[in-house]
């Protein structure tokens, strides 16, 4: 079957660092972190989180963000558009709020709890042809983008709307606290003094199509791997991340020396950053610009893959390398960590998403030929 090209023709985001993708990219390049300290989530403890300050529900914000992307598209209707959602917690926060208010389950709607809650909400707002939801922890929306890539490349669909979404769930926050990986300050990915991550909420929406438009960026390759080293820790040598990156490059028929920027998963945890740095060094050495943008956005969990895909797309469009914020002393002395935003001519950008259970996904983006 002939392989179609896959283009990103529209996108928008909302997170703690900006109400739009333009605000987000500006915040990243000027080191304006959206992370703040909160004391109400865990008793007698302050933690730093990425919370969207919103006057109305995040579900309403989700609908508005999708509407903006769809209305700016070249589509007259969305009846031939597949919806692919990536989320780590689905409607868990809604369930939590009802249970904590009522102290029983009778008013909980199961349709607003499951992972496909987001698809259920959006299907009521837009006449999309069909939907599918992915929940693979922190690779959820990266895998949603990978699935969208395959659907368009194989000619199954011409239009796919990808949504990455996660909200601050008490269950999630306390789960990461139990693992001992939450920081009380904005995280410092790859720094020797890093002490943990910042859980965050976010919305990222991308429209993928088989025909390019003005300023389109191509999704050129996808790579998956599962190292299964440990349920919550990656293989120290970075074998899983290395394999995913190699597969993404092979899928796109691109050499490692041609990649100009890597948006690293870079959570700020000891285990993740060391492992990922080893993987990047093994494949790229010091030849590629590297940054993690989670010190600005926090870790938006299931939404992170889609949010950081948007960051890569904008970096390519603007020919600007996003910097690492709060990186003072890199643990890895080989990698080319960018500390200040810089103009740079490059054609390819790679985005890594690494999740529990050794679930790894790499996405390669490029300027269309």
pLDDT above 90: residue 341: yes
pLDDT reported for residue 98? 83
Confidence of residue 2 (pLDDT cuts 50, 70, 90): low
> What confidence tens digit (pLDDT) does each residue in 296-336 have?
999 999 999 999 999 999 999 999 999 999 999 999 999 99
Residue whose C-alpha is closest to residue 85's, from 129, 125, 120, 124: 120
pLDDT reported for residue 63? 94
pLDDT above 80: residue 262: yes
Longest dimension (CA), the chain: 59
Per DSSP (E only), the strands in 216-258 are 217-226
**Is the Cβ–Cβ distance between 35 and 29 less than 8 Å?**
no
> What confidence tens digit (pLDDT) does each residue in 266-295 have?
999 999 999 999 999 999 999 999 999 999
Select which of 66, 113, 187, 265 is catalytic. Answer: 265
Q: What distance in Å separates the CA atoms of residue 169 and residue 65, rounded to the nearest whole number? A: 21
pLDDT reported for residue 93? 82
pTM of the complete model: 0.96
Q: What distance in Å separates the CA atoms of residue 345 and residue 343, rounded to the nearest whole number? A: 7
Token code pair at residue 48: 């730093």
* Bridge pairing between strands 130-134 and 81-86: parallel
% the chain with pLDDT above 90: 83
**Is the Cβ–Cβ distance between 207 and 11 less than 8 Å?**
yes
Token code pair at residue 258: 């041609």
Confidence of residue 265 (pLDDT cuts 50, 70, 90): very high
Q: Which residues lie across from 166 on neighbouring strands?
A: 202
Handedness of CA 245, 250, 254, 256 (dihedral sign): positive
pLDDT reported for residue 57? 81
Q: Where are the domains of the chain?
A: 7-366
**Reduced to 3 states, what is the DSSP secondary structure of residue 130?**
strand
Average pLDDT of the residues in 199-220: 97
pLDDT above 60: residue 354: yes
Q: Which residues lie across from 225 on neighbouring strands?
A: 360
**Is the Cβ–Cβ distance between 69 and 11 less than 8 Å?**
yes
% the chain with pLDDT above 70: 99
The DSSP element (H or E) to which 320 belongs, if any, is: strand 320-321
Average pLDDT of the residues in 82-111: 87
Confidence of residue 216 (pLDDT cuts 50, 70, 90): very high
Select which of 138, 187, 251, 312 is catalytic. Answer: 138
Say whether 265 is catalytic: yes
Q: What distance in Å separates the CA atoms of residue 366 and residue 369, rounded to the nearest whole number? A: 9
Residue whose C-alpha is closest to residue 179's, from 127, 222, 232: 232
pLDDT above 80: residue 14: yes
Q: What distance in Å separates the CA atoms of residue 353 and residue 277, rounded to the nearest whole number? A: 13
Select which of 243, 251, 299, 326 is catalytic. Answer: 299
> What confidence tens digit (pLDDT) does each residue in 103-123 have?
888 888 888 888 899 998 898
Token code pair at residue 145: 């983008």
Choose the CATH number for 7-366 among 3.40.47.10, 3.40.50.720, 2.60.40.420, 2.60.40.770.
3.40.47.10
């Amino acid at each position: 079957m002939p392989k179609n090209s896959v283009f990103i023709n529209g996108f928008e985001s909302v997170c703690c660092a900006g109400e739009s993708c333009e605000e987000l990219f500006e915040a990243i390049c000027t080191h304006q972190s959206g992370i703040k300290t909160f004391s109400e989530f865990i008793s007698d403890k302050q933690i730093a989180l990425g919370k969207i300050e919103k006057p109305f529900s995040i579900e309403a914000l989700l609908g508005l963000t999708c509407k903006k992307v769809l209305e700016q598209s070249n589509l007259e209707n969305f009846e031939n558009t597949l919806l692919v959602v990536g989320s780590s917690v689905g409607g868990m926060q809604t369930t939590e709020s009802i249970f904590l208010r009522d102290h029983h389950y009778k008013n909980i709607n199961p349709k607003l709890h499951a992972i496909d809650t987001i698809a259920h909400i959006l299907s009521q707002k837009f006449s999309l042809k069909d939907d599918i939801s992915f929940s693979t922890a922190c690779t959820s929306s990266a895998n949603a983008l990978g699935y969208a890539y395959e659907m368009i490349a194989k000619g199954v669909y011409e239009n796919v709307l990808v949504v990455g979404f996660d909200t601050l769930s008490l269950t999630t926050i306390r789960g990461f606290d139990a693992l001992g990986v939450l920081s009380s300050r904005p995280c410092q990915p790859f720094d020797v003094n890093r002490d943990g991550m910042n859980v965050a909420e976010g919305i990222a929406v991308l429209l993928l199509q088989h025909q390019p438009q003005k300023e389109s960026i191509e999704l050129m390759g996808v790579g998956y791997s599962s190292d299964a080293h440990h349920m919550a820790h990656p293989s120290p040598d970075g074998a899983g991340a290395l394999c995913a990156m190699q597969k993404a490059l092979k899928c796109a028929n691109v050499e490692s020396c041609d990649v100009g920027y890597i948006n690293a998963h870079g959570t700020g945890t000891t285990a993740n950053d060391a492992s990922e740095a080893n993987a990047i060094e093994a494949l790229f050495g010091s030849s590629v610009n590297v940054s993690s943008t989670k010190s600005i956005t926090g870790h938006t969990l299931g939404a992170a893959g889609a949010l950081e895909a948007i960051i890569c797309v904008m970096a390519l469009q603007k020919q600007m390398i996003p910097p690492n914020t709060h990186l003072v002393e890199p643990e890895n002395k080989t990698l080319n960590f960018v500390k200040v935003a810089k103009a740079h001519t490059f054609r390819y950008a790679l985005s890594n998403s690494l999740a529990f259970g050794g679930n790894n996904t790499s996405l390669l983006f490029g300027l269309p030929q």
